Each structure stands twice: as C-alpha cells, then as structure tokens.
Amino acid sequence: MNKGDVRPEFSFLPSSSGASKSVGGYSDLDLQLPELIQGFIGVILLSLNSLKLEKIVPTKENIGYCIRYGNPKYHHIDVTVALNAALEQQMIVKLKQADFELYVGRTERIWKCENPLGGNPNQYQNATWNVIEKFLCSTDGRSAIAASECRYEAALI
C-alpha cells in the first residue's frame, strides 16, 4: 500500500470452515476479515492498550509513535490506513475533544492521561530524581536521548 492510500481496498471473504476469525479479542464479527486488515486492527488495539497503560493521550500522532517505536515488526505500518480499517470495522471510535481527535476501543472510555510537561515533581523523593539525573548525565543516558527520534521514544527511556 502506498502512503497516500487512505482506505485499503479489500473484500470480505467467506469462511471455508464457517467460523469467523477473532480480531483483537473480539469474536463477534459476522464476517471473516482478510488477514492484513485483522493485523492492522490488532496493532491499533495493542497500541491503544499500551497508551492506556502509560497514561498517554490516544491521538493519531501518539498511536503512530507507539507503533513505530514499539515492536520492530510493526515499524512500517501506515497508521492512517490501520486507523481507518479499525474505524470502518467499528473496533475503535473517534472522539473529538476540543482541538484533539482521540481514538479508543469501541467499548472503552477515555482514560486519565498524565501531562508529561506538568505535574508535581515534589511527589517523588530526591533519591529518585538523583538516579534519573545520574542516568541522563551518563554516557549511556545521553546516547539514548540523542538516538531517540521523537518525544514519545525519548519518554520511554
């Protein structure tokens, strides 16, 4: 698929065994989806779960970073195509909140997200901050930050 493709072309294939395949833990799909589309939807659902666990806002940009810098075998997935496939199959929903478009699983609500630029630094002990500072000032820490390609990847360090 080309990066410019917004919507994948596919047709529903009848199941030879009469059973439909499960997509991301959802077994109530009436029709069997092609494996590529199932894979896209599964990757989107996994990335949403990761963002939820990390308390990161589920925007298209963050989903893309999560996919691109998560599991190496998913680095080249076109996020727009994957999101459109998941939306088309109603496995996720798009919520419009102020200036953001947020994506969540069809049965989920938006979770409480952490503000990585704000918060209360006093909630952590000085010993914790000293360990973080020591790592970030070390050769390994500086190399890891310099090698990161985006804020999302740097935040995972």
With cut-offs at 50, 70 and 90, classify the pLDDT of residue 15.
very low
Query: Distance between CA 93 and CA 80 in Å, rounded?
Result: 14
Residue 130, pLDDT score: 86
Are residues 106 and 134 located together in one domain of the fold? no
Are residues 107 and 121 located together in one domain of the fold? no
Better pLDDT: 18 or 27: 27
Token pair of 111, please?
A: 């979770």
Are residues 139 and 110 located together in one domain of the fold? no
Q: Which range marks the domain in which residue 43 is found?
A: 1-114
Are residues 80 and 150 located together in one domain of the fold? no
Helix/strand/coil (H, E, C) string of 51-117? HHHHCCCCEHHHHHHHHHCCCHHHCCCCHHHHHHHHHHCCCEEEEEECCEEEEEECCCCCCCCCCCC
Are residues 140 and 98 located together in one domain of the fold? no
Residue 71, pLDDT score: 80
CB atoms within 10 A of CB 104: 17
Residue 64, pLDDT score: 92
Better pLDDT: 93 or 3: 93
pLDDT at 105 over 90: yes
Question: What secondary structure letter does DSSP report for 131?
Answer: H
The stretch 149-155 carries a mean pLDDT of 73
Are residues 100 and 125 located together in one domain of the fold? no
Collapsed DSSP state (helix, strand, coil) of residue 16: coil
Are residues 135 and 75 located together in one domain of the fold? no
Q: pLDDT per residue over 43-68, tens digit each?
A: 999 999 999 998 899 999 999 989 98
